[in-house]
Amino acid sequence: MQPDWEGPLGEAYARAMTYLQGLPVRRVGASVTADELRARLGGPLPHQPANPVDVVTDLAEGVEGGLVATGSGRFFGFVIGGATPASLAADWLATVWDQNAGLYAAAPAAAMVEEIAAGWLVELFGLPKQTSVGFVTGGQMANFTALAAARHAVLRNAGWDVEVDGLVGAPPIRVLVGAERHDTVDRALRFLGLGTRCIVPIAVDGQGRMRPDALASELGHGPTIICAQAGNVNTGAIDPLDEICALSGDAWVHVDGAFGLWSALTQPIPGLAEADSWATDAHKWLNVPYDSGLVFCAHPEAHQAAMAVRAAYLIHDTEKRDPLDYNPEFSRRARGFAVYAAIRALGRSGITELVDRCQAMARRFAEQLEPYVLNEVRLNQVLVSFGPETPQIVQSIQEEGTAWMSGTTWQGKPAMRISVSNWTTTAADVDRSVEIVRRCVENRRARSTQG
Ligand SMILES: *Cc1c(COP(=O)(O)O)cnc(C)c1O
């Protein structure tokens, strides 16, 4: 049987082009309410089949106004990248080819592309040659996977086999993390059965960097994992990894570098290669479509001890790389294709230029919003505060629609985050967005003085 692929895929292609080509002029924020979306898309469970073309058409029309244009050059919320053409096209093909990229035997090309991209990434970041790599869904699962390897290694050193014996009765693990860590670290520790009470928060400086003096006094009390950070989500600050690694002794050092790791391409991060594991995202600064995260481990045997599976019906070949030995999923999407294509299309120089450009655009924001800036702008994050009315101002910027930024609380103060993570952001995008920010601040002030 030859199904009608042309109808629904042709419709999807036409709509994709309209969407992508409209990004530069499109409103950035969503414009419909949850009730409207529910009314448009909901209804009773369908009983009868529907024409696939109609399904695609109705879906595309139903979501209109409910999409946030995160691919826009004026989207500055959270830390969300867009998608480059080559990576987006490769991701489409990953869906078309529909490979189950768990095992080499089931998906040789997908496994090989991951092996090749893994080697490129290790070289790109200057990590130790033997470093193993897993292609996961995001920074959350990259942190989870790396911390699983860390849990294995620190307990093995204490004479405990956590994969076999679990955690009941195991020597306690202390996890030393900066007070300004990302919440996904705590969540990974929950998933790993370590719980959040194992966390020993380490004092940070005004930029959110872990203080080595505070770390030193907590070391040397049994199995220990140090969770450092390259790229604080609010300030972009990078922990002093050289000092942390020098102090670490037999503790495992993990680096959460979800976006900050990419800044190593424009400015070396001292001590980066001395850590034991690293987490980063491809869907943030590399501008690969969602979802795509990367985990690196300098100790492949610990990585595999934590992740690998052997089952009688699976076909393993020691000469071949089976992706499921490096990530927590079993059946999985061939997400390596998009990463491979992104690296092929940009090359080292293109990726470096992309990172450099985002950083330059962040500095442009910081120069123009100078009186409001709270952080040292070294990476792509600008943290600003307009005082107690900041949350209302953030909301009015989002509602205006030209640009989109998100709010936060930084060391007890309400603030607004500007994250420049999109490969298409231009100086003109920054200037237009600054205009809107200024106008929203003035409007709010005018309204407040009117009383
Ligand atoms: C975004 C981020 C994460 C989580 O990554 P996801 O890809 O959203 O799972 C973890 N740590 C830091 C520092 C981040 O910026």
* pLDDT at residue 408 is higher than 90: yes
CA 188 to ligand 1 centroid distance, Å = 12
Q: Tell me if 298 CB under 6 Å of ligand 1.
A: no
With vertex at residue 281, the alpha carbon angle to CA 280 and CA 284, rounded to the nearest 5 degrees, is 135
Average pLDDT value for residue range 86-104: 98
DSSP 12-63: HHHHHHHHHHHTTTS-SS--S-HHHHHHHH--SPP-S---HHHHHHHHHHHH
Q: Would you tell me the crossing angle of helices 336-368 and 427-450 to the nearest 10 degrees?
A: 50
* pLDDT at residue 126 is higher than 90: yes
* pLDDT at residue 50 is higher than 70: yes
Residue-wise pLDDT tens digits, 335-367: 999 999 999 999 999 999 999 999 999 999 999
Residues 6+ apart with CB under 8 A from 29: 68, 69, 398, 399, 401, 404
Average pLDDT value for residue range 162-181: 97
CA 289 to ligand 1 centroid distance, Å = 15
Percent of the chain with pLDDT over 70: 100
The residue to mutate among 145, 180, 182, having the most atoms of ligand 1 within 8 angstroms of its beta carbon, is: 182
Residue-wise pLDDT tens digits, 247-298: 999 999 999 999 999 999 999 999 999 999 999 999 999 999 999 999 999 9
Model confidence band, residue 318 (pLDDT cutoffs 50, 70, 90): confident
Q: Would you tell me the crossing angle of helices 34-41 and 52-63 to the nearest 10 degrees?
A: 170
Strands 293-297 and 381-384: unpaired
427 token code pair: 């100086």
Q: Tell me if 186 CB under 6 Å of ligand 1.
A: no
Model confidence band, residue 23 (pLDDT cutoffs 50, 70, 90): very high
Residue-level pLDDT at 180: 93
Q: Tell me if 293 CB under 6 Å of ligand 1.
A: yes
**Tell me, what amino acid is at 238?**
I
Residue-level pLDDT at 310: 76
The residue to mutate among 227, 255, 256, 287, having the most atoms of ligand 1 within 8 angstroms of its beta carbon, is: 256
Q: Is residue 217 classed exposed, middle or buried when 0-12, 13-18 and 19+ CB atoms within 10 A define those classes?
A: exposed
Average pLDDT value for residue range 116-143: 98
Model confidence band, residue 451 (pLDDT cutoffs 50, 70, 90): low
Residue-level pLDDT at 411: 86
Q: Tell me if 178 CB under 6 Å of ligand 1.
A: no
pTM of the model: 0.97
* pLDDT at residue 313 is higher than 80: no
Average pLDDT value for residue range 312-318: 76
d(CA 407, CA 44): 37
The residue to mutate among 262, 281, 284, 285, having the most atoms of ligand 1 within 8 angstroms of its beta carbon, is: 281
CA 182 to ligand 1 centroid distance, Å = 7
CA 286 to ligand 1 centroid distance, Å = 14
* pLDDT at residue 316 is higher than 80: no
Q: Tell me if 11 CB under 6 Å of ligand 1.
A: no
Average pLDDT value for residue range 138-153: 98
Average pLDDT for the chain: 96
**Tell me, what amino acid is at 207?**
Q
Residue-wise pLDDT tens digits, 353-402: 999 999 999 999 999 999 999 999 999 999 999 999 999 999 999 999 99
Shortest-distance atom of ligand 1 to CA 142: 9
The residue to mutate among 70, 141, 181, 233, having the most atoms of ligand 1 within 8 angstroms of its beta carbon, is: 233
The secondary structure of residue 230, as a DSSP letter, is B
Domains of the chain, each with CATH number or no CATH = 89-340 (3.40.640.10)
Closest residue by Cα to atom 6, ligand 1, is 139
Q: How many CB atoms lie within 10 A of CB 96?
A: 10
